Amino acid sequence: MTIQSPAGNAAAPAGSGEAPAEPADTRQVIRPYGDTTGDGMVQMSFTLPVPAGKRAEAAALQLAGKMGLEPASVVHAKPMGPDFTFFIVYGRAQHLIDYASIPAPPEREFPLLSAKEADLAIRGALNRRLVVVGACIGTDAHTVGIDAILNVKGFAGEKGLEYYREIEVVNMGAQVTVAELVERAKERDADAVLVSQVVTQRNAHLHNTKQMAAAFHAEYPTAVAAGMGRPLLVVGGPRFDTVSAEDLGVDRIFGKGTTPAEVASYLVHALLPREENR
């Protein structure tokens, strides 16, 4: 069954209804693509805490309208027990995006190296192994992120840092306290500290990371920079996209999908004297 909302406004041509055009309009207006340029079609699903029925569907359509989908149609409504209804809704998005105004994200600031190249660079520049201490800190027990980067097994077909002959990995595992991490980093004279944070309830990942960074900065008061008096601080996890490394007090944030080679390449870039690692 498909229920249509009252016919919406006729689609306005992209960019109309705005102030008089600037001499050179550099905007690049886009909207979602279903099967025709400019159709604006969006699919979504959600649950409302009301019993299924006509009234629930009207509520779903009103929600779609308020979300900017006009017209919208309920293509599927299913009761989930007596008190909830699940909806799948299609609608035409009325919002426009000026693609030209979206800054291109910065390019990776370092070249991507193979394991062999990274090993060579380290051996050439340090004449010893690069020491990396990794952990999941706080209550976070999800070692999947840190293990993907550190374990030999690796991630996405790439071997983890344990596989690199010139990298010495100390994987402390899960639920490590900040104090334990600092202590181990000092004891091993770590070049880099890698922290993974997956659990994000009440922004635990941000609090934990800031606490960790503060502890390292306090422990190495005379440090000049990462690799100069203190270890390089790297944090990874799927939900760091709203903050910057400076906010957290760390040197680098890695997001979802980061591979071990990216991390290794970054370590080489950030820790080795620049002319050596070209």
Partner 1 sequence: MAPQGKLDLDPEAVRAARRLAARAAEPVIRMARTHTTVSVERALLRLAGLTGADDGGRPWVNHLADAVRDQVGLEGGVALPVWDALLNGPYGTLRDLAEATARGRVTFRHPGGADAGHARDAARAAARGGMDRVDRRRAERDRMLREVGDPPQPWIYLIVATGDIYEDIPQAQAAAREGADVVAVIRSTGQSLLDFVPEGATREGYAGTYATQENFRLMRSALDDVSRELGRYVRLTNYASGLCMPEIATLAGLERLDMMLNDCMYGIIFRDINPRRTFIDQRFSRQIHARAGIVINTGEDNYLTTADAVDAAHTVVVSQLLNERFGHEAGLADGQLGLGHAFEINPSVPQSFRMELAHAQLVRELFPDAPLKYMPPTKHMTGNIFAGYLLDAFFNLAGVMTGQSIILIGMMTEGIHTPWLSDRDLALENVRYVRDACGSLAEDFVPRPDGFVAERARRVLAESVDLLERVADDGLLDAIAQGTFGVTRRPADGGKGLDGVVERADGYFNPAIEILDSEDPHTAHAQEEVPA
Interacting residues toward partner 1 by CB under 8 A: 45-47, 78, 80-81, 84, 86, 139-144, 147, 151-153, 171-175, 199, 201, 204, 256
CB of 222 to partner 1, least distance (A): 32
Q: Are 263 and 161 in contact (CB under 8 A)?
A: yes
CB of 153 to partner 1, least distance (A): 5
Give ∠ CA 45-46-49 in degrees, rounded to 5: 155
Angle of helix 115-126 versus helix 260-271 axis, rounded to 10: 20
Q: How far apart are CA 145 and CA 135, in angstroms?
A: 10
Active site (annotated) includes residue 54 = no
Nearest to 249 by CA among 167, 185, 193: 193
CB of 148 to partner 1, least distance (A): 9
Q: Which is nearer to partner 1, 88 or 96 (CB)?
A: 88
Q: Which is nearer to partner 1, 143 or 259 (CB)?
A: 143
Q: Give residue for tokens 């606490």.
A: 211
CB of 225 to partner 1, least distance (A): 32
Q: Are 115 and 261 in contact (CB under 8 A)?
A: yes
Burial 243-273 (b: 16+ CB within 10 A, else e): bebeebbbbbbbeeebbbbbbbbbbbbbbbe
Nearest to 27 by CA among 191, 127, 19, 247: 19
Q: Which is nearer to partner 1, 37 or 47 (CB)?
A: 47
Active-site entry in 54, 66, 78, 153: 153
Q: Which is nearer to partner 1, 199 or 243 (CB)?
A: 199
Nearest to 114 by CA among 11, 215, 262, 223: 262
CB of 179 to partner 1, least distance (A): 14
Query: Which residues are catalytic, by number?
Result: 153
